[in-house]
Amino acid sequence: MTAPSPAAAFIDFLAPAHEVAPSLIGVEVLVDGVGGRIVETEAYDREDPASHSHRGPTPRNAAMFGPPGRAYVYRSYGIHWCLNFVCGPEGHGAGVLIRALAPTEGLARMRERRGVQDVRLLAAGPGRVAQALGVDASFNHLRLDAPPFELRPRPAGENIQVQTGPRIGITRAADVPWRFGEAASPFLSRPFPRR
DNA sequence: AGTATGATTGCCT
DNA sequence: GGCAATCATACTG
């Protein structure tokens, strides 16, 4: 039983990843008070050959098969960390990769961690997001509705244009349009291809 | 036990 | 645009 807590009740993490992913655009994510608005996400699930969960549970992807509404953190290219939100019913192996933020809180801290000044380079890309937020392996499995995490809904009435496109950096199922982003945001990891 | 491979980034030409 | 960095994971034998 995973009763949604008030802090994140506005997101239904039981829904499929490809539905949660676009609904996260505009949501503010903070780690110990540092973070910003999500402007880019990607969805992955077990039926998806590009997903870490595709071949079933392993020690690395265990969080994806655990309760929804938690963090799945993995090491990328032996160098970077990447942050995902676990979705779907427990055991389904689905998640949403947080690919880019528009920084709002704790800019100084993020500049410190990232070693760059340009606000557009603080969290534009999944590795940069994790570094800016100070997220590493110790955050794997943590609940998203309790400290150090905090999620804040997109302000009511605010209209955000969500764009769709193919996911980035994958070889298999490269045509699946499960990348979502705020149209024309200067904080995207990459622009969306023209259609 | 050995090997191939990334859901990336930053620096170089 | 090209490529090195860097290593845990997963797969092969």
Confidence category of residue A2, pLDDT binned at 50, 70, 90: low
Buried b (16+ CB within 10 A) or exposed e, A176-188: bebbbbbeebebb
Q: Give pLDDT tens digits for A7-47.
A: 568 999 999 999 999 999 999 999 999 999 999 999 999 99
Q: What percent of chain A has pLDDT over 70?
A: 96
Give the global pTM. Answer: 0.95
Supply the angle between the helices A126-133 and A107-114 in degrees, to the nearest 10.
120
Q: Which nucleotides of B are covered by protein (CB under 7 A)?
A: 6-10
Report CA(A101)–C1'(B4) in Å, whole number: 33
What pLDDT was estimated at residue A82? 97
DSSP-based three-state secondary structure for A127:
helix
Closest nucleotide (CA of A62 to C1')?
A: C9
Q: Give pLDDT tens digits for A125-159.
A: 999 999 999 999 999 999 999 999 999 999 988 88
Q: Is the CB of A42 under 7 A from strand B?
A: yes
Average pLDDT over residues A40-68: 96
Residue A119 amino acid letter: V
